[in-house]
Every structure is written in structure tokens, then in C-alpha cells.
Amino acid sequence: MAAGKKVWDWEISAKTSYWDWSLPELWSYRYLLSSLVRRDFLLKYQQTILGPLWILLLPILTLITYVLVFGKLVGISTGETPKVLFYFSGIVLWNLFSDSFTGTSNTFRENARLFSKVYFPRIVMPAAVTSSHFLQFLIQFALLLLLIGYYGIFQGYRPSFSLWVVGFPIAIVLVGVIGFSLGLLFSVLTAKYRDMVSLINLGIRLFMFLTPVIYPLASVPDNLHWIVTLNPLTPLFELFRLGLLGEGVVTPANLIYSLLFAIIVALAALLTFNKQGDKLIDVV
């Protein structure tokens, strides 16, 4: 320590900054993250009869509904792809987005008590929520792969694979990133303005219809095409299906648009969360 000049480890002032992530600090909280994910799983399935089976059961039930309603009743064409595979791939990826989005957007509301009693990097909480939804996604994704295998072996389904197969992990990551980042942005808003909660719940349901979850982009009428393509999730869903099922409409321009959107929204979310996070404790 230099004479006359004190060296401080930390400093707290009125100013909050946009960018003061301390990586060593975050790293030291990695166990908190993993135990929060663990807690999430334990809590969700404690005192349920089927337990973790629900992770698979819910999307399967959704799948049955979609096949009946949109497939049989409404009769939306899914192209060459079997309806089951088409809908299930959409459901699985959409769940990843909507779960991580709604999960993170409640960060401040759900943890207000905890946040007002102890300090830890606030980002750990939404990160844990997203991680646990991502794990859930991986389990559902495994079921999707099994279904594809089943259709390939027993139903004579031959998806036309191409080089695009490398694209589906990119789609997954970007969908996760966008869900998490939008969630973070909205978490700041829901903390301040509770009205946002209802808006989010409604908005996410409507948003699903703007995303090619239950219909392929190819079947969208031309006059509505632009709205659906404006949605940055659209190219990612198409890329996901193109990679796995060999059917989808993707152009490089669309993909770059989604990628840029993901990067910008992620940066904006991290900056806002960092800047506003500490102030929000007074408001929540």
C-alpha cells in the first residue's frame, strides 16, 4: 500500500454505471447459479406424482392440441414434413423463447424480498432461470430427435438434409439469447410499472402467431409476409426446421438481421440491467 494513498477494494456511490461487470465476482457466484437451477427443478416437481415427466408431458399435450386444431380443423399445410414433427419442433423452440422471456421478465418482482436483504450480482437470478429453461429445452429437444428417428425408421420419412444442418444450434442459441435479453429489458419495466405484467402475458401469446410456430413461412400470404419477416425470430425458426427437417425458407440477409437484432438487444439489456438494477430495489 502506497504511503498516504489508500487502496480500496470497493466503492459505493450514487452513480450506477452501464458497464462495470466484475468477471471474477461473477465467477465466484457460479455455484449459486448451479444450485439455483437445481432448486428450480426440485421445487417444480416436488409433491407431483409424475415429477420431471411433466417436462415432456406438457409439450406432448400441446402437440396433440395443435395437431387436432391447426392440423385437422384449420388444415394449415406443413409441406412435406409430417405434422407431428413440424408442430413439435415449433413448440419446443417456442417454449425456450417464451419461458426464458417470461421467466427473466419477473426477476425483480419475484425476488424483491431477497434482493432487499442481501447483495449478490443480480444477473445471477435471471441467468439461473434461463439456464433451467434451457436444460428443460434440451430434454424436450432429445424427444424431438427421437421422434425424427421414429418417423425415419417406421414411417419412411426422409428429410432432405443439407449443409444447413449446422444451422440449428445457432438458431437455438440466438432464440435463447433473444428471450433472455428481452426478458431482462422487461424485468426493469415490470419492476417499475406493474401494468407491464398483464401486457407481457397477452403480448407473448399474440407474438406466437407472428412467429412461424404453427405454420411454415412458405404458407404465409404475400400481403402479410412482411410482418412475419419483420419478426427477428422468424428466420431462426425457419433455420431450426431447415437444419433438422430439411424444410424452411432462409436467406442470409434474414439471418444477419436476426443476428444483429440478438446482439443489439443483448447489449441493451445488459447495459440497462446494470444501470437500473441497483436503483430498482427502492421501487419494487
Q: Does residue 283 touch other proteins according to CB under 8 A?
A: yes
Q: Are 178 and 263 in contact (CB under 8 A)?
A: no
Min separation Cβ 34 and other proteins, Å: 9
Closest CA to 80 of 161, 174, 199, 175: 161
Task: Identify the residue whose cell numbers are 388444415.
Answer: 75
Element (H, E) at 84: helix 83-105
* Nearer Cβ to other proteins (29/257): 29
Hey, what's the cell of 113?
A: 424480498
Q: Which stretch binds other proteins (CB under 8 A): 42-50, 57-65, 146-154, 248-256?
A: 42-50
The answer to the question of residue 48 lying near other proteins (CB under 8 A) is: no
19 binds other proteins (CB under 8 A): no
x/- letters, 180..199, toward other proteins (CB under 8 A): ------------xxx-----
Exactly one of 10, 19, 154, 226 binds other proteins (CB under 8 A); which one?
Answer: 10
Nearest CA to 216 out of 184, 246, 190, 186 is that of 246
Give the Cβ contact number of residue 49 at 10 Å. 7
Q: Which has the closest alpha carbon to 86: 248, 254, 255?
A: 248
| Torsion angle, alpha carbons of 162, 56, 175, 150, to 10 | 0
Please choose, from the candidates 40, 183, 179, 25, the residue with its C-alpha nearest in 3D space to the C-alpha of residue 108. 183
Q: Which stretch binds other proteins (CB under 8 A): 2-10, 65-73, 171-179, 259-267?
A: 2-10
Q: Which residue has the cell 411433466?
A: 54
> Which residue lies nearer to other proteins by CB, 199 or 260?
199
23 lies in the site for other proteins, by CB under 8 A: no
Residue 122 has phi, psi (to 5 degrees) of -60, -25
Q: Least Å distance between CB 188 and other proteins?
A: 12
> For residues 120 and 257, which CB has a smaller minimum distance to other proteins in the complex?
120
- Which of these segments, 70-78, 158-166, 250-258, 275-283, binds other proteins (CB under 8 A)? 275-283
- Among 5, 46, 198, 252, indicate the residue that binds other proteins (CB under 8 A): 46
Question: What are the residues binding other proteins (CB under 8 A)?
Answer: 6-14, 16, 28-29, 31-32, 35-36, 38-39, 42-43, 46, 114-120, 192-194, 278-279, 281-283
